[in-house]
Structure 1
């Protein structure tokens, strides 16, 4: 199987992970923060940009994969725009950004479409992305309005 597995240890690495999870979707129930372990994890359905546009039966083929995205050395988590009591709210991840505050510490931001945001205060960048299983086909390719 061609499962993706990445690790990020600095802002440059995190930009690569961000590109791979762009347009991933998740829900509040798939977010997990464990303060004692200093770990924040989310399970996402990742749009496989690396496989986008392959031909299948004469048509472009797209796929999603269930993946886990985890961050270590997390000191604090803040959220805004996430409706914790709305099981139907779908969070569509646009980007992951890192702002250094006191090297190597800083804040990792998970930016979602339409405004929701998760901020992780971290001792340093230490993130992992791993596909959990096989891909499934989707007919829909995410689109973004032109700036």
Structure 2
């Protein structure tokens, strides 16, 4: 398990690297945890290992800190077992150094997280396992 990914984002460029690593990751609505007291959002994903030899997924956790507020659009929070697929993670600057981190999902859903500053960590938390399905995108 030496080749597990551990990434830290402190600016928009770092966040773009995490976004690329998480492209086509899947999660369940119930895998999203918002801790208002701790001011953080954590999402557990099954991430396709684009950087690996291919044909593998790994359990990963994305944690975003310094959270000021969270808004969900087109995500049924009551459907805890509903599967969502991450398309991208983007940062829109606001009052420096803060702004909004948006997780965009297939099916036109998104999670908008207002942050005081960019403070995100992505870490693989399991050994990879084989998957017969490679994500495909329309040209």
Q: TM-score, normalized by length of structure 2?
A: 0.96
1:4 matched to 2:5: yes
Q: How many residues align?
A: 138
Match of 1:142 in 2: 135
Partner SS, residue 51 of structure 2: helix
- C-alpha displacement at 1:86, in angstroms? 2.3
Match of 2:67 in 1: 74
Provide the aligned C-alpha RMSD in A.
0.9
Q: Equivalences for 1:14-25 in 2 at 5 Å?
A: 14-25=15-26
Which of these residues, 91, 98, 113, is aligned with residue 84 of structure 2?
Answer: 91
Quick one: distance in 1 between partners of 2:102 and 2:81?
23
Match of 1:27 in 2: 28
Partner SS, residue 55 of structure 2: strand
Match of 1:47 in 2: 48
* Gap regions ≥5 residues in structure 1: 55-60
Quick one: distance in 2 between partners of 1:86 and 1:120?
20
Which of these residues, 98, 103, 108, is aligned with residue 96 of structure 2?
Answer: 103
- Give deviations 1:96-147, integer Å, cap 9, x for gaps: 000001110100000001111000000000000000010000010001111x
Match of 1:131 in 2: 124
- Give deviations 1:35-85, integer Å, cap 9, x for gaps: 11111001000000001xx3xxxxxx5000000000000010000111122
Q: TM-score, normalized by length of structure 1?
A: 0.91
Match of 2:115 in 1: 122
Quick one: distance in 2 between partners of 1:28 and 1:87?
5
Match of 1:64 in 2: 57
